[in-house]
Amino acid sequence: MLPKYSLIVPIYNEEEIIPELYRRLSAVMNRLDGLVELILINDGSRDRSLQLLRELHQKDPRICYLSFARNFGHQIAVTAGLNFVRGQVIIILDADLQDPPELIPDMIEKWRQGYQVVYAQRTQRLKEGWFKRFTAYSFYRLLKKLADVDIPTDTGDFCLMDRQIVDILNSMPERTRYIRGLRSWVGFQQTAIRFERDPRFAGEVKYTFSKSLALAINGLVSFSIVPLRLSTYLGLIAAAAAIFMALLILYWRLFLPHSPLTGFTIILMAIFFLGSVQLVSVGILGEYIGRIYEEVKARPLYTLAEVGGFYPKSSNSTNNADKLVEAPYSKRDEDS
C-alpha cells in the first residue's frame, strides 16, 4: 500500500543529529492518521550519516533513503526526495531540527482545509547570528521586490505540499532548483503557518556563506530578469555622465581662459567608473548565460550511489527517478 504522508529530509554530515531527529520525527509520525514514509537523502556526507540511515532503515520499515554519489547541495537533495515520494501529502524539513516537526499536524490541518501548499514562515530567528539574520532579511525583501512571482519573505523549504504540486515540480525540467521559488510559481491555494526558528540542534551550519550566496544568486537569477535590465540602466547612467562631462569640457575650452581640468585624477576616476560598470554588466550577463549553459548540458541532477526502500516502485512516478533507480547502485535492499 502506498503511504499517505511522505516526509523528506536532506542529510549532509548530520551524524550528531540523526538519532534525535528520528526520535522527534517518529513521535510525530506515530500520531498521523495514515501510512507515513520518511525519505532521508544522504547528500554525500563524509561522516557516519549514511551508516546511521542504513541502520534506521533496517529498524523501521517506514524509512527509505537515497544516497548521492557526492555532495550535490541541499536543493538537489530535496529535489531527489520529491522525485521519489509516493505519498499524497509531502512535507519537506531540515535535518537540524530548526524546522520543528511538531508543526506537521498543524500543517496537515491546513491541508485538510483545502490548501495545496502550507509553507512555514519564520517570525524570528533570534538565536541565529546577526550577520545571517541581516543578510537573510535583506535578501528575502530584495527577492520579493525583484521576482516576477510573489515569493513570500522569510520562508525556507519547510513546507507541506499536495501531490498535485509535487507532480508539477517534478515535471519542471530546469536544473537550477530554487524550490521555495518554484513552489510559489506553481500557484494554487497557498497559506503560511508562522513559527519561531530554533537554533540548530547540534553540529555546524552546513550552508557555508558561499553556499548561501550561491543559493541567493540562483533565486534572483531564476526568478527575475531585473538584474539584466540593471546593466542597461547603469550603462545609460554612465552615458549620461559622459555626455555631461563632454559638454562641460567643451564649455570650459570655449569660454574659460584656462581649463580647470588638470591632472590624471578625473581621467582615472572615469576609467574606473566605466570599467566597473562594464565588469558588473558582464558579470550579470554571465550569470544568465551560465544558467543557459547548465540547462543546455542537461546532465542528470544527481547521481545515486545507493537506494534503500521504495519497493515496490511507485507506478505513478512520471519523472526521471525511475531511470535513475536503474543505475548501478548497490543492491543492498534486494539481498535483505
Q: Residue 74, interface with ligand UDP (CB under 6 A)?
A: yes
Between 97 and 284, name the residue whose CB sits nearer to ligand UDP.
97
Report 85-104 residues binding Mg ion (CB under 5 A): 96, 98
State how far the Cα of 110 lies from the Cα of 260, in Å rounded to an integer. 71
CB nearer to ligand UDP: give 116 or 180.
180
Least distance (Å) between residue 120 CB and ligand UDP: 12
Binding residues with ligand UDP: total (CB under 6 A): 17
Q: What DSSP string describes 126-177?
A: TTS-HHHHHHHHHHHHHHHHH-SS---TTEEEEEEEEHHHHHHHHH---SS-
DSSP bridge partners of 327: none
Does 162 interact with Mg ion (rule: CB under 5 A)? no
Applying CB under 6 A, among 22, 29, 39, 43 the residue interacting with ligand UDP is 43
Work out the angle at residue 90's Cα, subtended by the Cα atoms of residues 84 and 96, and round it to the nearest 5 degrees.
90
Partner interacting with residue 77 (select from ligand UDP, Mg ion, none; CB below 5-8 Å by kind):
ligand UDP
Find all residues with CB under 8 Å of 151, minimum gap 6, and list them. 140, 143, 144, 180, 181, 184, 219, 223
Query: What are the distances in angstroms from CA 199 to CA 11, 129, 206?
Result: 17, 10, 13
Helix 209-223 × helix 265-297 angle, to 10°: 80
Q: What character string, x for contact with ligand UDP (CB under 6 A) and - otherwise, covers 206-245?
A: xx--------------------------------------
CA-closest candidate to residue 4, choices 91, 84, 87: 87
Binding mask 140-179 for ligand UDP (x = CB under 6 A): ----------------------------------------
Closest distance to ligand UDP from the beta carbon of 102 (Å): 17
Stretch that binds ligand UDP, among 89-97, 174-182, 185-193, 285-293 (CB under 6 A): 89-97
Binding site for Mg ion (CB under 5 A): 96, 98
